[in-house]
Amino acid sequence: MADCTHDCSTCSSNCSSRDKQSFVKPLHEGAKVKKVIAVASGKGGVGKSLVTSLLAVRAQARGNRVAVLDADITGPSIPKAFGVTTRAYGEEGTIYPVRTKSGMQMMSMNALLEHEDDPVVWRGTLIAGAAVQFWTDVLWEDVDIMFIDMPPGTGDVPLSVFQSIPLSGIVIVTTPQDLVEMIVKKAVNMAKMMNVPVLGLVENMSYFVCPDCGKRHEIFGASKAEALAKEYGIPAVAKLPIDPAAARLADAGRIAEANTDALAEVFFEIEKSREIGDYKV
């Protein structure tokens, strides 16, 4: 490109001069993670944290040692969903993750703040750096699958995560509205630019089942999930309903009790995904 600065760390272009492997950050000494799955969207408010939580719950139910890295530094919600109120601690350059009642490992900015409602008023570079430090400075213990709850958009944090962490794949979250569809395509295209496979598409708030008559209503419009998946060659699709019961469980810190059957097809693709020890550019 004519305006190239030759600083690949600030650029998302997949040009011939890029050596992505050179940007990948090592895990903390003694840490071990086999697979890393990012859950992302080009827009906020579509339910990435819910989908991340449900995928983590399903993974643990299938016998995996699971971790969740909450990369949404300024809007962390993962600890709340799992009812985690303990604070992480560290010593001599090592941060130890907090754990859920079921033993799932977790790191989130809210595990470091004195009060969970304290704001994180930082600029983008600091936020991105913190997300990467959750990868490099935390002593993750024998993790089979790590899920990363990404912030919305395609800016500093998503770019840093894509460049610094060897992702096994990405799951895209969307909702049926036309506006969201357009923005989600940006996230899909970013994954392709960064050579990260898109394993599944989850359409959240896809429909609502009336508790009185049992009729299914598409409140936000007809589903576009299959068409999007076909257009971009995404192998798995899941449709999550508007479910007040799941919302109540998340609010109560009991998301581990939620039903995850709707995510079976997407999780099957996650099980087949590459381990990061086999990571190739």
Domains of the chain: 25-273 (3.40.50.300)
- Give the residue, 275 or 280, on which the prediction is more confident: 275
Contacts of 111 (CB under 8 A, 6+ apart): 79, 84, 86, 87, 88, 97, 98
Q: Which tens digit of pLDDT belongs to each residue from 95-111?
A: 999 999 999 999 999 99
The pLDDT of 70-99, averaged and rounded, is 92
- Cα separations in angstroms, 33 against 69, 98, 141, 244: 12, 16, 8, 34
Highest mean pLDDT: which of 6-20, 148-162, 238-252? 238-252
Residue 38 and residue 170 in contact, taking contact as beta carbons nearer than 8 Å: yes
How far is residue 253's CA from residue 231's CA, in Å, rounded to a whole number?
A: 37
Does residue 225 come out as left (phi exceeding 0), alpha (psi in the -120 to 50 range) or beta?
alpha
How far is residue 242's CA from residue 59's CA, in Å, rounded to a whole number?
A: 22
Contacts of 207 (CB under 8 A, 6+ apart): 216, 217, 218, 219, 223, 239, 241, 242
Question: What's residue 10's pLDDT?
Answer: 52
Residue 252 scores a pLDDT above 50: yes
Mean pLDDT across the chain: 88
Of 9-23, 45-59, 178-192, 223-237, minimum mean pLDDT range: 9-23
Residue 193 scores a pLDDT above 80: yes
Does residue 195 come out as left (phi exceeding 0), alpha (psi in the -120 to 50 range) or beta?
left
Tokens of residue 175, six digits: 């909702």
Residue 50 scores a pLDDT above 50: yes
